[in-house]
Amino acid sequence: MALTVVAFLVALAILIAVHEYGHYRVARACGVKVLRFSIGFGKPLLRWQPKGSPTEYVIGMFPLGGYVKMLDEREGPVAPEERHLAFNNRPLGARAAIVAAGPLANLVLAVLLYALVNWMGVMEPAPYLARPAAGTVAAQAGVQGGERVLSAAMAQDAPEAVRSFDDLRWLLARGALDGRNVRLTVQDGPDGATHELTLRLDRLDTREPDTELLKEIGLTGPWTRPVIGEVMPQGAAEREGLQPGDVVLRIGAQVVADGQQLRTLIRASVSDGAALTQTWRIERAGQVLELAITPDLREEDGVPIGRIGAYVGAAPEMLMVRYGPLEGLWKGAQRTWEVSALTLRMMGRMVIGEASVKNLSGPLTIADFAGKSAHMGFTAYLVFLALVSVSLGVLNLLPLPVLDGGHLMYYLWEGVTGRGVSDAWMERLQRGGVALLLVMMSIAVFNDFTRLFG
């Protein structure tokens, strides 16, 4: 819990500081006097002003935001000799640049964070396909389990090499949300033949969150050996004689291809509300044995499922994915662009009802992911920071009156018509923007509680 809070606060501090520094740096470059640079709102916990600097620096009590206060005749009297330093007296292009600099700083930060991860390298699962459940898109495409993905492409795009299962999962998420089919070039085993498969993602219902989409596709995780891991005391595995290291070859008449299929078969070992006894063929220390296994009966969301009280499936094969300086930077920029475009498309789909509002996340979910990524290691935390930084940058560029994008919308109007938005219209738009943001935040917080406590 403590790590989650610390990781969340550090993430907020970094992302807010970078955002506000973007505004601050460009304001200074455009000749605007900055009166205050604040991280957080409310009562100042810490404040200082370097000697000879016009800017006061503040750390506020509530860290959910920040601001840069500039000299502006609309907010108070300005001495005649300083009017040229006021924000409202700068040219339209300068004002637009100052406003856009905050979100753009977050996007630049995301590029650098992704690039840093690419340069450091990260251990990722190898791109081996697990045996998909019957009826899923992958099963219909002919995936048997155990194939290695060599390259992939959406629709008629040029194929790209797939270095890890995470690369494949990212491509599948994009293809599903875009409604574009994905072509896979796969190899059957280390020395097997290569062939092409087409995943028909254009048939998916994209209104559900992406975790549900991956279930429908049938490729929720990489291939793993169907091995029994640690056996829990007093569970079905211990009771029926299963041991750590046992490789499951067959359950009843069903040949077991991998760990994912094994977990599915165990869960489905139920008939008429009772646990189903089946003959398991296993390999133990080079010998093939047969055991009659009756799983324990459990309920999940009101549905009876089988459990054996053991870890099922070996860890996936891992490999180091690392890029050189230029390629790593390019990949960072490419990933930032793709996440930004995906975020905008998802928001657009939610507005027109083609995507579920369950995809909206609030501070509780972000804090939860901050803690989990911090537990997973430094590189996972950097990826989390990059993802939230992209979201913050994109969100602030939306044309909502209370956001940076709303101010840019005003400046666009001013550039086209030659006059600024009237005070009356400004007030109406601000009220509408606040109301819309409150609705979005309420939905996001509701989703947080549903995910974490539902």
The residues assigned a catalytic role are 20
At residue 76, φ and ψ (nearest 5 deg) are 165, 165
Residue 426 CB-density burial (10 A; 0-12 exposed, 13-18 middle, 19+ buried) = middle
Q: Check: CB of residue 278 under 8 Å from CB of residue 306.
A: no
Q: Cα–Cα–Cα angle for 319, 117, 9, nearest 5°?
A: 125
- d(Cα 304, Cα 267) in Å, to the nearest integer? 8
Q: Which amino acid is at 134?
A: A
Residues 335, 336, 337, 342: is their CA dihedral positive or negative? positive
Measure the CA–CA gap between 182 and 205, rounded to whole angstroms: 16
For CA atoms 235, 239, 244, 250, the dihedral sign is negative
Selection from 143, 42, 102 nearest residue 406 by Cα: 102
Positive or negative CA dihedral for 186, 223, 280, 299?
negative
Q: Distance between CA 242 and CA 245 in Å, rounded?
A: 9
List strand residue ranges (DSSP E) for 130-221, in order.
147-154, 160-161, 182-188, 194-199
Neighbours of 172 (CB within 10 A): 23
Beta-sheet strands, E only, within 214-351? 228-231, 247-251, 254-255, 270-271, 274-275, 278-284, 287-293, 296-300, 303-307, 310-312, 318-321
Q: What tokens appear for 262 in the block?
A: 């094994």
CB atoms within 10 A of CB 125: 19
